[in-house]
A and B are shown apart, each in its own frame.
Chain A
């Protein structure tokens, strides 16, 4: 791929999805665009990009963004975020006697993250002390959302991170695949959302999982995304980042919870002693 084609696609990805692509990722670009070109009946990546350039074909542009997303995920990924929910966030939120606890999984990929939360909540009703829980899960990619909604996972996927007892309890076998129960599926609402846009349509949240997506953005984009996230959070609400991500030097809208790596609180809520500011 020549450098002007590379610049064209990487500019497109940056503008559309915030995703930063450095030239050392050229192979990635090629390996993902080649199948798309073929699927579109075009002879080469060059032809594909030519079509996009000359027609500004929105459908094709979305597909390019879609294939360039990295959707790696698995059930109960990294474990700690779920422990932090159990040990810190949910006890605090349920002690506030909220009638509803609202959770947003931004960048949910194929659904393992929101479904892990749903299974955990279903299996531990004491965690929410009778509060209704709403889980909204979003991603930029219609392709992964489709799969997430189906709740269908391969044998390989249900063996990554999912304890066997949970699989037995919450999944049914469907031919070669495993489908999560209707009950768990009904606890999660999936919607398409681009983190470059203001997430106003979903209301305010008490918890936001935004894990393993900031890593694809540059510094200013990370700040903007975290600002947007904080604007839809209730004060004192909790945010969970991926293991390689932080707010330090990126956003002042969140404070790290002491000795709880990966857990942040939206500024303006409870102070360290747990007493709510007026």
Chain B
């Protein structure tokens, strides 16, 4: 089973995402900010990461840049999932190593479609 780390400071968003991803047959893990996520990845690198942008402690983009420098950090497929919905944010995310980008609000169809885009489902 593929593992997906859900990184979002909102418990509600994490819960919704977890339901959707479990339906897509993912094992899920959760982190509430970039720092926590990075520690989890160091301990156990997941195959996929669903990543929010604005979070306390360490935001999504800083996490992503740090992740990509970690040993094995090039492997997870990273899908941003954020309310930042303008082209400059999207471009920055892709430049920093994101594989796909979801603009909130999301639903199961969008998650499935975007995960399919990067070969995760």
- Interface of A with B (CB < 8 Å)? 74, 155-156, 159-161, 163-165, 167-168, 172-173
CB-defined contacts of B86 to chain A, threshold 8 Å: 173
Residue pair B87, A159 in contact (C-beta under 8 Å): no
Q: Closest CB of chain A to B11's CB: distance in Å?
A: 24
CB-defined contacts of A173 to chain B, threshold 8 Å: 86-87
Residue pair B117, A163 in contact (C-beta under 8 Å): yes
Residue pair B100, A160 in contact (C-beta under 8 Å): no
Residue pair A159, B90 in contact (C-beta under 8 Å): no
Residue pair B90, A155 in contact (C-beta under 8 Å): no
Query: When A164-B100, A164-B101, A168-B87 are in contact, do A159 and B114 touch as well, CB less than 8 Å?
Result: yes
CB-defined contacts of B113 to chain A, threshold 8 Å: 74, 159-161
- Interface of B with A (CB < 8 Å)? 85-87, 90-91, 94, 100-103, 106, 109-110, 113-114, 117
CB-defined contacts of A156 to chain B, threshold 8 Å: 110
Among residues of A, the one whose C-beta sits closest to the C-beta of B107 is A156
Residue pair A160, B87 in contact (C-beta under 8 Å): no
Query: CA A74 – CA B91 in complex, angstroms?
Result: 23
CB-defined contacts of B110 to chain A, threshold 8 Å: 156, 159-160
Q: Closest CB of chain B to A167's CB: distance in Å?
A: 8
Among residues of A, the one whose C-beta sits closest to the C-beta of B86 is A173
Query: CA A74 – CA B90 in complex, angstroms?
Result: 21
Among residues of A, the one whose C-beta sits closest to the C-beta of B117 is A163
Query: CA A167 – CA B94 in complex, angstroms?
Result: 12
Query: CA A173 – CA B106 in complex, angstroms?
Result: 18
Residue pair B114, A168 in contact (C-beta under 8 Å): no
Query: CA A163 – CA B110 in complex, angstroms?
Result: 11
Please tell me which one of the listed residues B94, B109, B114 contacts residue A165 in the complex, with CB atoms under 8 A apart.
B94
CB-defined contacts of B100 to chain A, threshold 8 Å: 163-164
Query: CA A168 – CA B85 in complex, angstroms?
Result: 12
Query: CA A80 – CA B90 in complex, angstroms?
Result: 27
Q: Closest CB of chain A to B109's CB: distance in Å?
A: 7
Please tell me which one of the listed residues A155, A161, A168, A172 contacts residue B103 in the complex, with CB atoms under 8 A apart.
A155
